[in-house]
Every structure is written in structure tokens, then in C-alpha cells.
Homo-oligomer: A and B are copies of this chain.
Amino acid sequence: MTVELLHWPREKERRAQLHEASQPRLLLVDPAASPPLTVDPAEDWVRLPAHHRDVQARVESLRRRSAAEPTLDEGVLRTASGWVSLPDLEARIVEVLLSKFGKVADRQSLLAAGWPGETPSRNLLDVHLHRLRRRIDPVGLQIRTVRKRGYVLEAMTPSPAALQP
């Protein structure tokens, strides 16, 4: 995902639009303007004039923050730290988990995705979740259980040391 650059306060409108679309953005703040107060983690700002490296660093941070979301394409699950291939069945399950990345995906929709129109035996889903967990571990993902409700796919929290250039 790319990071948009825009001027503040000149492009106030555009900022609102980008916020709506949860599009990461960096505000270039006019030398005379007062900086925006934001709580949105997908937004940052830098006062002009600024060093090129500082702008680069903020763009890069924004990019990483929102690049946290993995992608699934042709049975290949990619994250920041690599990729693994998934068999068809498990790919369909991951697709659902991914569509709710960071939020709860209920058992029902996982079953529907894995076995459309069927009702597989009692713990077949559990077995495949177990296999999925082992498969996605090397690429820094984990599946956490929310008892009686469903499962959450999320990134494992990296150590701060790993973030240093």
C-alpha cells in the first residue's frame, strides 16, 4: 500500500477523503500553519522545510504500519517476512480470516468457506486450524482463539530491535 503526500492546511478536503478510505498519508505542514492533532495511526505529518531523510523515514513508517496486512494470491500467502503456499482448502479458510484481518471470523463462515453445503465432522475445522497455525508460523502470523465466537488472524508482535535499520 502506498503513502499519499499532501499539503496542510491547503488540501484539507483531500485529507478527509483519504481518512475515509483509510489510506495512509503524510501531511506536509506549511511553515506558518499549526500542526494537525490526529489520533489516526495511518496519518503522520512533518513541518516544512524538512530534511529529505525525515520525510522518507515517516513515509516508510506509515508504509510498514499498514503493510502489516498479508495478501493471498494463487494459493500464496505473503507477509512482510516471506511467503508460504497453501492447499486449496486451507486457502479458502484463510481467505475468510484475511477478510476480517485482526477481527473475529466466526466458525460458521469458516466452515462455509471450507466445505460449502456440507457439515463436516465435529472437529475437522479444528484440525485444519491446527495445521494452518503450523504453516503460517514461519511468516509471522498467528491465529488466536476467541472461545465460543471464532478465530482472529493477526501478525505476531515483532520485537522493537527487529525494527532498527
- This chain's copy number in the assembly: 2
Bitwise interface map of A from 30 to 57 toward B, beta carbon under 8 Å scored 1, else 0: 0000111111110000010001011001
**Which residues of chain A have a CB within 8 Å of any CB of chain B?**
15-16, 19, 34-41, 47, 51, 53-54, 57-58, 60-61, 64-65, 68, 74-76, 85, 87-88, 103-104, 144-150, 152, 158, 160-161, 163-165
For A35, give its contact among B57, B88, B152 (CB under 8 Å). B57
Given A74-B149, A85-B149, A149-B75, CB of A37 within 8 Å of CB of B19: no
Q: Report B-chain residues with C-beta under 8 Å of the C-beta of A34.
A: 53, 57, 165
Inter-chain CA distance A122–B61, complex, in Å, is 49
